[in-house]
Structure 1
Amino acid sequence: MKLHELSNVAGAVHRKKRVGCGEGGGHGKTSGRGGKGQTARSGGSIRPGFEGGQMPLYRRLPHRGFNNKNFRTELPIVNLGDLEALDAAISEVDAAVLAANGFLRKSDAKFKVLGNGELTRPLKITAAKFSESAKAKLEKLGGQAIVAA
C-alpha cells in the first residue's frame, strides 16, 4: 500500500456546511448563530473571563502571595557525562567551547554544570553555577570548577 492509494472510510468526509441558503437547509435565517446580539455579528466575540459586565471572578477573588516564575533566570544545563564527548585535546571548557561543539546556542551564555554521567579526565570548567556533585567529581579527578561572575 502506498500513500497515494489511501482513501478515507465511507462517511469520514462531509461536505462543507452552507449557511444562509434558505430555511429548508436547516442553517437558514440566522445561519446557526442564534438570535440577535454581539455574538450574532461578524467579528463579534467576547474575551475569555468576560461575564457580561459583572465583576469577573478573577477580579472578585483576592490575590495574595508572590510567584517568582516571571522573574527567575533559567540557565541551560550541561552534564559532566556530556563533556566526555568533547575532543581529548580540549582541557579548558567555557561557553565559547560548548557553543562551538553544539552544547549551547550562544557563545556568551551562562550555564550550569550538573554531575550526571561520568567524566574520565580532568577539565578546567568555567561556568556560572555548579552542582555540589559536579564540583566534587571534578575535583576528585584533579579538575577545576571556576565560577564565572
Structure 2
Amino acid sequence: MADENSQEQAALNRLAPAPGAKHPRKRLGRGIGSGTGKTCGRGHKGQKSRAGKKIKFGFEGGQMPVHRRIPKRGFSSRRAADWLRLPTGALAGLEPGEVTLAALRAAGLAGPRHRLVKFYSSGAVAAGYRLVGLAATKGARAAIEAAGGAVEAAAPAQQPKESSS
C-alpha cells in the first residue's frame, strides 16, 4: 500500500502536456527578419488591422449577412416534440395489464419530456394489455385487441391537431 502511494506521488511530479500540445507564443513586431515585424501579420490598413474594436461574428461590413440572405424553410412544432411514438413490440417488456404513461416512464420507455404516447403496429403483441390514456394507430389497436387487450381513447386534449396545409 505504501509502495503504491509513493509511485502515485512520483508520477504526479512528472506530469507534462503531450508532445506538440503546447506552442510558443508568436512574438509580433520584432523586426523584418521575424516574418511578423512592422504590421505584425495584420496587413495594411482596414478594420482588421486596427486595435480596439472587434468585429462581431457574422458581420459582413454592412452587406446583408448570409444568415439573413438565405431563405428560411420548414417549421418545427414544439407540440410534436412532446409526442413519443412506440412500436407495439415495446409492450413485451411490460407486465400484462393496465399500461399508462407512468408505467412507461417506470419501465424506461418514456422520458420526462414525453407527455403524449402513440403506439404504432410493429412487432407482435403476446398478452392482453389495456392502454389507458394512450393513443394507438388503427393497426396497433387491431393487434392489441386481437391479443385480448383494449385501448381506451386518450382525452381529446391529447389528440394531435391535424395540419391544415
- Considering the TM-score relative to the shorter chain, is it more than 0.5? yes
Q: Identify the residue that residue 104 of structure 1 maps to in structure 2.
A: 110
Opposite residue 126 of structure 1, the aligned amino acid is: V
Cα distance change, pair 104–20 in 1 and its aligned pair in 2 (3 A): same
Q: CA RMSD, aligned part only? A: 3.3
Matches within 5 A, 1:1-149: 15-20=23-28, 22-23=30-31, 24-40=33-49, 41=51, 44-48=54-58, 50-56=59-65, 67-74=74-81, 75-87=83-95, 90-106=96-112, 109-149=115-155
Q: Which runs of 4+ in 1 moved over 6 A?
A: none
Deviation at 1:134, TM superposition (A): 1.2
1:97 and 1:107 in contact (8 A); partners too: no
Q: Which structure has greater helix proportion?
A: 2
Gaps (5+ residues) in structure 2?
1-17, 156-165
Gaps (5+ residues) in structure 1?
1-6
Cα distance change, pair 39–148 in 1 and its aligned pair in 2 (3 A): farther
Moved more, 104-113 or 78-87: 104-113
Deviation at 1:138, TM superposition (A): 1.0
Deviation at 1:47, TM superposition (A): 2.9
Whose Rg is larger?
2
Deviation at 1:28, TM superposition (A): 3.5
